[in-house]
Amino acid sequence: MEKNPYLIPNTNRIYTNVRKQKIARDILERYTGSTLKQFQKQVILTNFEYYLDRFAVLSNGVKTRGSAMGAVHSEKDGVSIVNFSIGSPTAALIIECLAVLEPKAVLFLGMTGGLHRSLKKGDFILPTAAIRDEGVSHHFLPRQVPALPTFKIQKFVSEILVESGFDYRTGVVHTTDYRFWEFNDKFKADLYHERALCIDMETATLFVAGFASKVPIGALLLVSDLPLKRGGIKTKRSASSVFKQFTDKHLEIGIKSMSQIAERGEHIRHYKW
């Protein structure tokens, strides 16, 4: 059989597609407007431009803008942040692109809709797993494989939260690609039976793509709305209020976690199957 010239074995005897790596580097630079050298070894992911603006202020970082995404890089903190926009397709894309950098840790600072009646806006959720109700993660791993974060990242973030005096909840997040689910009674009934703590559009994809791509990844979610309660669906006005009240607190925990995990956190590695 003729050998594929683009597949070569690496030192771990796992075959790496060199052409894919080259394209991924090109996409990362083109989409973010950043050079590979600007990226730090710890990366924060977000869905919102406002988080980039506040990160630039809080960390004195350098902001860049590419054809599809934005980024800010802070050499002082050793952390980069990328706004990959919204949804599972771009979540998977940014993970595969970041994989070429071999980051030490990646943390998703996402917003989520609180489903449990005890939750309120501004609560932190440290997900222990995610339900794969989206159409992207099956390209990486079979459906029966659970979507799990890198445990040691979640463990360290929990320590930072406690040190900073913040309460948080742990549980399962339901990840969907169905945006207007709030108006589907059957979907809402299914959510109730799942006992999911919250709902979003990226977490499961990030966890699965991260595991498949050997990218250590965790998530710290912020409850931005309570869609099952009367008047609880997010609006332009309520979203603006959440940004102003909670973004800095969310970012401060993320920056502190990522800037210190290399020195204080336990060694992170992915097992080679």
**Calpha distance 222→190 (Å, rounded):** 23
Residue 8 has pLDDT above 80, yes or no: no
Could you tell me if residue 1 is inside a domain? no
**Calpha distance 115→225 (Å, rounded):** 9
Question: Would you give the end-to-end CA distance of the chain in angstroms?
Answer: 25
Instruction: Report the number of distinct structural domains present in the chain.
Output: 1
Q: Are the C-beta atoms of residues 121 and 224 closer than 8 Å to each other?
A: yes
273 confidence band (pLDDT: 50, 70, 90) = very low
Place of tokens 């710890």: 42
Is 273 exposed, middle or buried, given 0-12, 13-18 or 19+ CB atoms closer than 10 A? exposed
- With the CA atoms of 12, 13, 19 and 20 taken in that order, what torsion angle do they form, in degrees rounded to the nearest 10? -60
Angstrom CA distances, 53 to 18, 30, 64, 136, stand at 35, 20, 11, 29
Could you tell me if residue 14 is inside a domain? yes
User: pLDDT value at position 179?
Assistant: 94
Q: What is the DSSP string of the chain?
A: -PPPTTEEE-TTS-EEEHHHHHHHHHHHHHHHS--GGG--SEEEEES-HHHHHHHHHHHTPEEEE-SS-EEEEETTTTEEEEE--SSHHHHHHHHHHHGGG--SEEEEEEEEEE-STT--TT-EEEEEEEEEESSSGGGTS-TTS-B---HHHHHHHHHHHHHTT---EEEEEEEES-TTGGG-HHHHHHHHHHT-SEEESSHHHHHHHHHHTT--EEEEEEEEE-TTSTT-S--HHHHHHHHHHHHHHHHHHHHHHHHHHHHHSPP------
Backbone angles phi, psi at 170, to 5 degrees: -120, 150
Predicted confidence (pLDDT) per residue in 125-165, tens digit = 999 999 999 999 999 999 999 999 999 999 999 999 999 99
199 confidence band (pLDDT: 50, 70, 90) = very high
User: pLDDT value at position 205?
Assistant: 98
Predicted confidence (pLDDT) per residue in 110-123, tens digit = 999 999 999 999 99
Predicted confidence (pLDDT) per residue in 155-184, tens digit = 999 999 999 999 999 999 999 999 999 999
Could you tell me if residue 2 is inside a domain? no
Q: Are the C-beta atoms of residues 82 and 91 closer than 8 Å to each other?
A: no
CATH code of the domain in which 122 resides: 3.40.50.1580
Domain residues for the domain of 167 are 7-264
Average pLDDT over all residues of the chain: 92
**Calpha distance 226→119 (Å, rounded):** 8
Could you tell me if residue 270 is inside a domain? no
Could you tell me if residue 272 is inside a domain? no
Could you tell me if residue 273 is inside a domain? no
- Mean pLDDT for 10-25 is 72
